[in-house]
Amino acid sequence: MGGKHTVKTASSCSWRSVPLGEAGTWLSGGTPSTSNPAYWDGDIPWISGASLKSFRISDSERRLTPLGAKTGSRLVAKGTTLFVVRGMSLKSEFRIGVAARDVAFGQDVKALIPADGIDAYFLAHAMRAHTDQILRLVEDTSHGTGRLDTDRLQKLAIGVPPLQEQRRIVAAHSAFERWIVALDGVLEKLRVTEQALAPAQWDEWDQVPLETVATVAAGVTLGSEPVGDGTVELPYLRVANVLDGRIDTTDVKRVRILSAQFERYALKPGDLLLTEGGDLDKLGRGAVWDGQIERCLHQNHVFRVRCGERMTPDFLALYTASPVGRAYFQRVGKQTTNLASINSTQVKKMPVPVPPLDEQERLLGPIRAARKRAGELEKQIAKLRTVQRGVIEDLLTGHSKMSET
């Protein structure tokens, strides 16, 4: 491989600087005709930009037959590095992983078969460590998706140590991963426990329209924003921030509104946020806002439900997330070609059970305890992820700090 030079790292290992174009064999994929049933529903996972979500790639929702893989796609062996080069995900993340079995892949994904002396998992880690640089190579397409300029990507150089050092770096990552997987298992059991603690029957209490025990309001409509005096720019929550049972504030946008409109759109701790649209089975997903961002607003595609004196927000959230609550949203939701939606009138008319407040609190006690423990585990996992990234980045640059941990 021409153009490589040797550098000495802090760990005194001999590293080579290798352009990605020389790190292995690059391959493009494809999509067999979806109208030919002989190509689909086989045993070969077909990896697309949407399905490449895990670092160890072993399965996909869509599968090909051997004929489909041969005719319209490309089959690669276990140990091939795969990464997304086109799609909406490239606007915010670089998806990459390693095939844990033989797989086929689509045109939105590239495959890189590592050259001799380069470990596939090391290659994937090294590329992922350059995520910021790689995302700067992403271009917008006419369809509004992101496209990665692979010609420029092939010029990006990575440091490659001897194979033994590569495997030490991979082993360090795997050790963290096993720890995190174990904690994820405990977290999943807690979530199952929380669901089991919810009431099995909701019809034992009188039901009333939601609007009689809470107020429902839509949020800020995005578009032309006011300018000048009398305006203020504030953070707001959109559908992407409102998940099932929790609010994700890792990526919060800002919007400018008239100062006089602040009270109309402002959130308060205890507000239940419900999504207006999405997949039919996800309509009305939501969580209770804990006020972690001061002076925060909500978008018009997120309903704000503010409970009165007869209803506890956590109890209402428990009901809206229950099979009965989800069934209501699915029943009244309006289905279009790509998504479903509900309107504020339908939310207001939703029948909700209203047990006495002390009964609500009694039912919520063990659920809150499970949620508290789950929250602690989530923070522990997030901290481990941060440490993991730091250690791997140190090792990838040759500055091993394992002895300090």
Q: Determine what percent of the chain is predicted with pLDDT higher than 70.
A: 94
Q: What gap in Å lies between CA 55 and CA 100, rounded to an integer? A: 9
Residues with Cβ within 8 Å of residue 83, at least 6 apart in sequence: 52, 94, 95, 96, 97, 109, 110, 112, 124, 127
Return the pLDDT at 228: 85
| pLDDT > 90: percent of the chain | 75
Instruction: Please name the fold of domain 6-160.
Output: Adenine-n6-DNA-methyltransferase TaqI; Chain A, domain 2 (3.90.220)
pLDDT given for residue 9 in this prediction: 40
What Å distances lie between residue 189 and 14, 183, 185, 200, 371, CA to CA? 45, 10, 6, 19, 11
Q: CA–CA distance from 97 to each of 47, 50, 79, 86 (Å)?
A: 11, 13, 10, 15
162-201+355-405: which CATH topology?
Helix Hairpins (1.10.287)
| pLDDT tens for each residue of 62-92 | 999 999 999 989 999 999 999 999 988 888 8
Q: Is the pLDDT of residue 403 over 50?
A: no
Helix, strand, or coil here: 82?
Answer: strand
Predicted TM-score (pTM) of this structure: 0.68
The predicted-structure confidence for 40-57, as pLDDT tens digits, reads as follows: 999 999 999 989 989 999
Q: How far apart are CA 92 and CA 392, in angstroms?
A: 21
Question: From CA 303, how far away is CA 316, in angstroms rounded?
Answer: 14
The contacts of residue 362 (CB under 8 Å, 6+ apart) are none
Classify domain 206-354 by CATH number: 3.90.220.20
Domain boundaries, the chain: 6-160, 162-201+355-405, 206-354
The pLDDT score that the predictor gives to residue 338 is 64
User: Which residue type does 122 have?
Assistant: F
- Is 176 buried (19+), middle (13-18) or exposed (0-12) by CB count in 10 A? middle
Q: Are 23 and 166 in contact (CB under 8 A)?
A: no
206-354 shares the fold of 6-160? yes
